[in-house]
């Protein structure tokens, strides 16, 4: 699925028309069709929400784990098409990931509960790693964007914060003691 949506940037810039392309479980957006990718949203770790405000029937949100993307379609029908497709792709992705680990669970039914618990814990770790990977990709995109503007102080701050996040993450997953 692909087409135009409006993406809210900030108070000064307001809504900007962007060209969105849904490929696999990633929603890419460009300034215009055929131009370089401006950003991406990984649906596997995102949350898609319709606007609760009755006045905003053409709007919806995608929470990426780091950023909230406010999007608006030309019509309510277009918004419904986008939201349904995005939710459908997200659902398929989640079920596919679970199927990989659980389709052979029946093999372990005769075994103890410990094996099944380990598979469940592994599924949880896979979700964490996906979120972390998406977070790193978003940081990387931000660094590239800032490097174009030659804003090196902000790049240093992001890189230092990123380094600390990586260390904390792996210490939590793989404690030394």
Q: Which pLDDT tens digit goes with each residue over 71-108? A: 999 999 999 999 988 988 887 766 655 555 555 555 55
- Kindly report, residue by residue over 102-146, the tens digit of the pLDDT: 555 555 555 567 766 777 777 777 777 776 666 666 666 666 666
Domain boundary among 94, 113, 141: 94
Are the beta carbons of 119 and 101 closer than 8 angstroms? Answer: yes
Q: Does residue 88 sit in the same domain as residue 29?
A: yes
**Mean of the pLDDT values across residues 15-26?**
93
Ranges assigned E (strand) in 67-172 = 68-72
Are the beta carbons of 64 and 137 closer than 8 angstroms? Answer: no
Q: Which range of residues forms the domain containing residue 114? A: 104-177
Q: Does residue 170 sit in the same domain as residue 127?
A: yes
pLDDT of residue 176: 44
What CATH number should be reported for the domain holding residue 57? 2.30.29.30
Mean pLDDT of all residues belonging to the chain: 76
Query: Of 25-29, 50-54, 93-97, 132-136, which one has max mean pLDDT?
Result: 25-29
Calculate Rg over the CA atoms of the chain: 19
Q: Between these two residues, 159 and 46, which has the higher pLDDT value?
A: 46
Q: Does residue 57 sit in the same domain as residue 143?
A: no
How many Å apart are CA 75 and CA 95, to the nearest integer? 30
Domain boundary among 94, 115, 146: 94
**pTM confidence score:** 0.58
Q: Is residue 99 part of a domain?
A: no
Q: Residue 8 CA to chain centroid, in angstroms? A: 17
How many Å apart are CA 80 and CA 62, to the nearest integer? 14
Q: Does residue 76 sit in the same domain as residue 113?
A: no
Phi, psi of 69 (to 5 degrees): -100, 120
Domain boundary among 94, 117, 145: 94
How many Å apart are CA 86 and CA 1, to the nearest integer? 9
Asked if residue 12 has pLDDT above 80, the reply is yes
Q: Between these two residues, 108 and 19, which has the higher pLDDT value?
A: 19
Ramachandran bin of 13, using left for φ above 0, alpha for ψ from -120 to 50, beta for the remaining angles = alpha
Asked if residue 171 has pLDDT above 60, the reply is no
Asked if residue 153 has pLDDT above 80, the reply is no
């Amino acid at each position: 699925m692909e087409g135009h949506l409006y993406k809210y940037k900030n108070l000064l810039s307001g809504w900007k028309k962007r060209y969105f392309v849904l490929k696999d479980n990633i929603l890419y957006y460009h300034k215009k069709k055929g131009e370089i990718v401006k950003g991406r949203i990984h649906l596997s770790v995102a949350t898609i929400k319709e606007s609760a405000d009755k006045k905003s029937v053409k709007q919806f949100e995608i929470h990426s784990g780091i950023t909230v993307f406010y999007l608006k379609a030309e019509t309510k029908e277009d918004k419904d098409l986008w939201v349904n497709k995005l939710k459908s792709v997200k659902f398929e992705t989640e079920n596919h990931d679970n199927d990989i680990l659980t389709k052979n669970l029946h093999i372990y039914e005769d075994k103890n509960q410990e094996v099944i618990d380990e598979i469940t814990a592994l599924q949880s770790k896979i979700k964490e790693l996906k979120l972390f990977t998406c977070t790193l990709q978003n940081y990387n995109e931000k660094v590239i964007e800032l490097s174009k503007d030659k804003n090196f102080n902000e790049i240093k701050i992001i890189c230092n914060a990123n380094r600390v996040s990586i260390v904390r993450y792996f210490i939590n997953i793989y404690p030394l003691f």
